[in-house]
A and B are shown apart, each in its own frame.
Chain A
Amino acid sequence: MTLEPQAYTITRADLVAYAEASGDHNPIHQDDAVAESVGLPGVIAHGMYTMALAARAVSTWFPGCEVASLGCKFTNPVVVPAEGGVDIEVAGEASEEDGLTTVRLTVTCEGQKVLGMPKAVVRAPAHD
């Protein structure tokens, strides 16, 4: 089953809020000079920010479902410009077996995949 793609935007202000909430104050997510000093093209989103958007799409598709597992590789950085934002799209394909639904995700930024093999497994709610 193909799930309806979800679109999100990430801004620098989101990264500041996420750093505060998550405790991840790595300056590569805030400061272009530091990011460039370690070979990145500029400030990048926390990988966990993009993964959180993937999880948000899963919870939109399967409201109230418990997540059994979630995983991905961070294959391409999501560069976030100082002005405006960057668009992320989360698409998914679901298949069901033994009461578990496996969601294979495709997470792209401006047409390029940014997560490697993102996958979530969700349990159907106990009482539907």
Chain B
Amino acid sequence: MPVDQSLVGRVFPPTRPYAVTAEHIGSFVAAIGGAYDGGAAPATYPIVLAFDAMNAFLEAESIDLFRIVHGDQKFAYERPVVPGDVLTATLTVASLRQIAGNDIIGTTSEITDSSGALVCSTSATLVHRGAA
């Protein structure tokens, strides 16, 4: 079933605040084969927040995660994420189109710290593969 067009422009509630720890950054870095020095998180780390927001969006719209393939991803950073940050992500559905039975869903997520300051803006295109 195609995703509802009225979603475009909808802003979803901010995700539950997430406290960034050195341990968690360390496990993220280890998973990609790196060694963490205790400082700034890797550039793709904010996906943890953006993914949380995406999951809440998919759940709210009853979209199956296994039908989602990532089309593109962009990050623009105000500053690096560091241990001790408490972050939330707010997702907006920016665009929606249907191509060859797939929904192409454009989303943006703003990641802010506990003072409300913007840390990182992300955008992602999600390809929702229709049932065969």
CB within 8 Å of B: which residues of A? 8-9, 14, 17-18, 20-28, 34, 37-40, 46-49, 51-53, 55-56, 58-59, 66-74, 77, 116, 120
**Known contacts A17-B27, A39-B129, A52-B42, then 12 further A-B pairs from the complex at CB < 8 Å, ordered by chain A residue:** A14-B31, A14-B32, A23-B55, A24-B47, A27-B66, A28-B66, A38-B129, A51-B73, A67-B77, A71-B75, A73-B72, A74-B73
Please, how many angstroms separate the alpha-carbon atoms of A14 and B32 in the complex? 7
CB within 8 Å of A: which residues of B? 24, 27-28, 30-34, 40, 42-44, 47-48, 51-52, 55, 65-77, 79-80, 129, 132
Please, how many angstroms separate the alpha-carbon atoms of A24 and B126 in the complex? 14
What are 8 A-B pairs at a CB distance below 8 A? A18-B31, A25-B65, A39-B129, A48-B44, A49-B31, A69-B74, A74-B69, A74-B72
Shortest beta-carbon contacts, A-B, top 7: A71-B74, A17-B31, A47-B70, A55-B43, A18-B31, A73-B72, A21-B28
Please, how many angstroms separate the alpha-carbon atoms of A53 and B33 in the complex? 9
| B43:A120 contact, CB within 8 angstroms | yes
Residues of A within 8 A of B28 (CB): 18, 21-22
| B51:A24 contact, CB within 8 angstroms | yes
Please, how many angstroms separate the alpha-carbon atoms of A23 and B32 in the complex? 14
